Copies of this chain bind each other. A is one copy, B any other.
Amino acid sequence: MSATNPYAPNPSDFISNVPRFEVIDSTLREGEQFANAFFTLENKIKIAKALDDFGVDYIELTSPVASDQAREEVEAICKLGLKSKILTHIRCHMHDARVAVETGVDGVNVFIGTSNFLRQHSHGKDMSYITKAAIEVIEFVKSKGLEVRFSTEDSFRSDIVDLLNIYTTVDKIGVNRIGIADTVGGANPRQVYELIRTIKSSVSCEIETHFHNDTGCAIANAYTALEAGAKYIDTCVLGIGERNGIVPIGGFMARMVVSAPEYVKSKYKLNKIRDLENLVAEIVQVNIPFNNPITGFCAFTHKAGIHAKAILANPSTYEILNPTDFGLTRYIHFANRLTGWNAIKARVEQLNLNLTDDQIKVVTNQIKQMGDVRPLGIEDVDSIIKAFHAKEKDNTSNANENENEQPGAKRQRVD
């Protein structure tokens, strides 16, 4: 937002929704399709409350038609009185719609496949059937006073003419949102930008997007979709979903807080991301990935000497995210052979010892030599520093006794 933030929205994008996006979290729908997910009602309620507390705008739930229990769960979550609006995700069938509108949801997310692949191998319907079914279902849901979204599955492998036809049709009858889905996770950012911008220029309703992560582009595609005028992003906690999942809410927040810091920090409780991820990770029995944005164990760990030096002078040099925004702290990894004397100096100060810069350079060299031989723990480094400090103190006393001796002469390995 500020003129000095090179990662702020591109000023030439007048259609950009980067600083006013909304989140539709689908942990309780897409996430339920994750291989390891089995959510009891109790756990679904825990997750829904945590999402609501974090501040997601919408919570999407598994279709009430999926099973008897699924229906009871939708009804139970609607009765919690959360601030987040509740949606359920149904096939484009009147039967599903009739069940959905009776559950107490705020809105219904309708989907159908429009790619040749899905038309041939999934439902076997043609575009005129799809259009007719869409109109019937949308008008029915609207007649009940609920929000309705109409989404195509596998949009990026669908014919652009088919897409524009169906989206402009449902737009005219007053759909609230249309959904564009990269169901197989193959889209790339500029392709996303072009498709969304084209569709945006043809409809007046809002655009929701759903990006799978098979090729590692889900977060970037979501960001680029906002630049092109989409407003709603589907996320899951840790990205859990079919195959390797969709846009993870934590990584997405990392992306957005860099580009629209005021908006994101005022709207979402970023310091709850860690708890939210831990809750879901425990329920679906996975570990937080070591390289997870924000909460990966080393996301704020700096190791190389040149990095540590600059971070100690000003954290922004090597940090685009501020760990305190997420209730976390940074860590300077000084116990290794890539360490530098600035990192060791910081450690010496933490240990409340007095050494000159020259002395610190000598002890840093000793630490690096030891680090060449084996992995170092913090206690190893502390021992080396303390031993060096004790010896230097002795040397200084001896030197004071014999003023002709120059202690500095022993320190030639400084680099």
Contacts and interface: CB of A to CB of B under 8 A. Distances in A.
A220 B214 contact: no
Interface string A331-359: 00100111000000000000000000000
Contacts of A118: 310, 317
Contact of A216 (B35, B214, B219, B373): B219
Interface in A215-235: 215-221, 223-224, 227
Contacts of A287: 287, 290
A121 interface: yes
Interface stretch (A102-110, A172-180, A300-308): A300-308
A375 B302 CA distance: 41
Interface in A62-81: 62, 65-70
B336 A38 contact: yes
Contact of A122 (B227, B309, B415): B309
B10 A243 contact: no
A200 interface: no
Nearest to A188: B223
Interface string A87-130: 00001000000000000000000000101011011100000000
A255 B217 contact: yes
Contact of A258 (B186, B314, B338): B186
A213 B291 contact: yes
Contact of A298 (B36, B216, B223): B36
Given A67-B371, A68-B372, A306-B91, A338 B62 contact: yes
A298 B243 contact: yes
How would you classify the secondary structure of chain A's contact residues: helix, strand, loop or mixed? loop
A66 B10 CA distance: 40
Contacts of A219: 215-217, 220
Contacts of A316: 117
Interface in A224-270: 224, 227, 238-240, 242-245, 248, 251-252, 254-255, 258-259
Nearest to A239: B291
Given A220-B220, A255-B215, A303-B34, A242 B318 contact: yes
Contact of A289 (B183, B290, B372): B290
A291 B245 contact: yes
Interface stretch (A46-54, A137-145, A189-197): A189-197
A341 to B, nearest CB: 13
Contacts of A117: 310, 314, 316-317
A299 B214 contact: yes
A260 to B, nearest CB: 12
The number of chain A residues touching the other chain, given as a range, is 35 or more
Given A184-B319, A220-B220, A293 B213 contact: yes
A251 B216 contact: yes
A405 B255 CA distance: 65
A216 B248 contact: yes
A81 to B, nearest CB: 25
A321 interface: yes
Nearest to A212: B320
A233 to B, nearest CB: 13
A187 B290 CA distance: 22
A338 B32 contact: yes
B215 A291 contact: no
7 contacts: A69-B373, A121-B317, A213-B293, A216-B254, A245-B291, A286-B290, A287-B290
* Top-5 shortest CB links A-B: A220-B220, A289-B289, A69-B372, A216-B251, A186-B320
Given A188-B255, A216-B220, A220-B220, 16 more contacts: A33-B307, A66-B338, A67-B338, A70-B337, A70-B372, A117-B310, A121-B314, A183-B318, A188-B220, A188-B223, A189-B220, A214-B321, A217-B220, A239-B291, A243-B298, A243-B299
